[in-house]
């Protein structure tokens, strides 16, 4: 092996250390050190021996490129020539090394121009960074995997920074996911959450410092809130958060969170509660109606006998007639309660729904309502539906009457629409009534008005017996409709908001065969 070189670069020291010190540093360096001249190795240390797998005796006068994989020969030669020309730019490069026996390793190389025995040469430092590069590649692959997961995940992934007061990472734009254009999203500022969150939910959502006092690493905290969709709807979200970065005092400075849209889950839970409540009310109403009917039977029978035996001029006859009228009204009330409870009798036949609607509209139009316009949009050739014509007429009459009454005292329009449709799970999920209804072909009846609308609390109580918003009324019209549609295995949904009118949607099964879905 050649003697170690003189130190390269810099001004000579006034009192250089003994050559033995250089020898110790050279021999014990963890990096391979090589001087290459005329393309061959002139000097190498023990680390080069370990790195290359060649004994030192085989390294001297061996072509330097024997230590480099063929695919990296070109860039190695280019850098070598630059150094020979005196380029001293301190730049490292990564190349694939070739050990004796053909094993490839990843090398990080630093080089500089030097003189060796009066002629230009290149001093090269080589470090095996195979493990580092492998770890870096694995980290990059994991990073890509996490980024891909975040990209396709059905929730928002974010990192919130307390010092900046905003998210420093977000896998997708929340405003754009809520229907806002990129320009509208930009107008919401650096932290759109502040403007999109419901005012009632914002304080609890931002009250993070207090909540994080007792949350250790590895555990999470959850909060629910509403965000405003571009269409004005409030969407429910749940956010699960965990500490991500703490300061020297252990205070949480960043949190990692995932927010999931749970609007449909909320609706389904509310629908289930409402359905259970209506079923309980139905059982109660049915039981009361049954017992009340048993009490009415002898009253009606006896008053009929009494009227048959009383002379026409008897002073008691008006009283008996009043009893008969009151008992008849009570019997009608019992029938409505039985319909609501699903115990009424129906005669199921093929019914022309369009014909029923035309008759009902013609009848209602005969009642003066000068400010109300009824518009029919009935699909020609609509398939017949399976049901009881008289009861479906009652459904249409009640829905149209309610729509006209909602417009009382104002100018407005009642729109009646029929269509053939394909029912899917999403439509059923938003239905108030869906017992026995399966996805598939159906016939749609829609009655909509542009009246004052109703708030959510009122809509939730529409189907309760004896609940009414009218000054006069028993509150059994809509509950009876629910009972009729339940027996017809139909779905029923209602959409209404204050100031935006009301829309009832009824999905009826076709009488026979498949109904091609047009939309």
Q: Same structural domain for residues 157 and 119?
A: no
Q: What is the CATH number of the domain that holds 172?
A: 3.30.450.20
Q: Identify the H or E element spanning 219.
A: none
Let me know if residue 518 belongs to a domain.
no
Q: Same structural domain for residues 27 and 101?
A: yes
Q: Same structural domain for residues 302 and 332?
A: yes
Let me know if residue 207 belongs to a domain.
yes
Q: Tell me if the pTM is above 0.75.
A: no
| Parent domain of 314 | 268-340
Let me know if residue 11 belongs to a domain.
no
Q: Same structural domain for residues 39 and 115?
A: yes
Q: Same structural domain for residues 232 and 273?
A: no
End of a domain among 340, 375, 395?
340
Q: Same structural domain for residues 314 and 436?
A: no
**Cβ count near 79 (within 10 Å):** 18
Q: How many domains does the chain have?
A: 4
Let me know if residue 519 belongs to a domain.
no
Let me know if residue 12 belongs to a domain.
no
Let me know if residue 163 belongs to a domain.
yes
End of a domain among 210, 226, 261?
261
Dig out the tokens for 515 from the structure. 């109904």
Q: Same structural domain for residues 361 and 420?
A: yes
End of a domain among 261, 290, 305?
261
pLDDT string in tens for the chain (519-residue length): 444 554 444 444 445 555 666 778 888 888 999 999 999 999 999 999 999 999 999 999 999 999 999 999 999 999 999 999 888 887 789 999 999 999 999 999 999 999 999 999 999 999 999 988 888 888 888 878 877 877 777 788 888 888 888 888 888 888 888 889 989 988 888 888 889 999 988 888 877 666 676 678 878 888 899 999 988 888 999 988 888 888 888 888 888 889 999 888 887 777 666 666 656 666 666 666 667 777 778 888 888 888 888 888 888 888 888 888 888 777 766 666 666 555 555 667 888 999 989 988 888 877 766 678 889 999 998 999 888 887 888 888 888 888 888 887 778 888 999 998 887 776 676 676 666 677 788 899 999 998 888 887 777 777 666 666 665 555 556 777 777 787 788 888 888 888 888 999 998 888 875 444 333
Q: Same structural domain for residues 369 and 498?
A: yes
Q: Same structural domain for residues 399 and 318?
A: no
Q: Same structural domain for residues 205 and 335?
A: no
Beta-ladder partners of 133: none
Q: Same structural domain for residues 317 and 257?
A: no
Q: Same structural domain for residues 362 and 497?
A: yes
Cα 118–chain centre separation: 73
Cβ neighbours of residue 272 closer than 8 Å, sequence gap 6 or more = none
Task: Report phi then psi at 378, rounded to 5.
Answer: -100, 125
Three-state secondary structure call for residue 339 = helix
Dig out the tokens for 387 from the structure. 């049901």
């Amino acid at each position: 092996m050649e003697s170690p070189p003189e130190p390269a670069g810099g001004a000579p020291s006034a009192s250089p250390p003994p050559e033995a010190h250089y020898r110790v540093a050279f021999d014990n360096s963890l990096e391979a050190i090589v001087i290459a001249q005329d393309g061959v190795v002139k000097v190498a240390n023990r680390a080069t021996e370990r790195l290359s797998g060649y004994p030192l005796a085989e390294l001297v006068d061996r072509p330097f490129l024997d230590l480099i994989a063929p695919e990296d020969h070109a860039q190695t030669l280019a850098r070598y020539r630059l150094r020979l020309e005196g380029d001293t730019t301190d730049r490292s490069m990564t190349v694939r090394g070739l050990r004796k026996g053909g094993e490839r390793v990843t090398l990080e190389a630093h080089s500089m121009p030097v003189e060796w025995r009066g002629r230009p040469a290149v001093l090269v430092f080589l470090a095996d960074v195979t493990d580092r590069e492998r770890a870096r590649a694995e980290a990059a692959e994991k990073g890509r995997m996490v980024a891909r997961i975040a990209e396709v995940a059905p929730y928002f992934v974010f990192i919130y920074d307390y010092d900046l007061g905003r998210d420093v990472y977000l896998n997708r734009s929340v405003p754009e996911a809520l229907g806002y254009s990129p320009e509208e999203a930009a107008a919401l500022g650096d932290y759109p959450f502040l403007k999109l969150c419901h005012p009632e939910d914002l304080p609890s959502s931002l009250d993070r410092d207090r909540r994080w006092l007792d949350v250790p690493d590895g555990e999470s905290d959850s909060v629910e809130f509403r965000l405003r969709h571009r269409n004005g709807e409030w969407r429910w979200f749940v956010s699960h958060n965990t500490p991500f970065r703490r300061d020297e005092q252990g205070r949480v400075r960043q949190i990692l969170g995932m927010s999931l849209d749970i609007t449909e889950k909320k609706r389904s839970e509310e629908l289930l509660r409402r359905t259970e409540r209506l079923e309980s009310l139905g059982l109660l109403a049915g039981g009361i109606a049954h017992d009340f009917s048993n009490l009415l039977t002898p009253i009606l029978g006896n008053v009929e006998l009494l009227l048959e035996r009383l002379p026409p001029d008897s002073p008691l006859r008006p009283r008996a007639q009043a009893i008969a009228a009151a008992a008849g009204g009570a019997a009608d009330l019992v029938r409505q309660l039985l319909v609501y409870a699903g115990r009424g009798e129906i005669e199921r036949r093929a019914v022309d729904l369009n014909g029923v609607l035309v008759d009902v509209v013609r009848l209602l139009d005969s009642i003066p309502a000068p400010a109300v316009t009824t518009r029919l949009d009935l699909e020609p050739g609509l398939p017949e539906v399976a049901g009881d014509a008289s009861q479906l007429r009652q459904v249409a009459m009640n829905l149209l009457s309610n729509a006209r009454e909602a417009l009382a005292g104002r100018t407005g329009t009642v729109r009646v629409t029929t269509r053939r449709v394909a029912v899917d799970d999403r439509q059923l999920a938003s239905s108030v009534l869906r017992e026995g209804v399966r996805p598939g072909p159906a016939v749609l009846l829609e009655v909509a008005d542009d009246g004052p609308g109703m708030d959510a609390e009122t809509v939730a109580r529409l189907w309760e017996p004896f609940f009414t918003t009218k000054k006069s009324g028993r509150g059994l019209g809509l509950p009876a409709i629910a009972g009729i549609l339940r027996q017809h295995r139909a779905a029923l949904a209602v959409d209404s908001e204050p100031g935006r009118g009301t829309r009832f949607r009824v999905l009826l099964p076709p009488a026979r065969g498949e109904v091609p879905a047009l939309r």
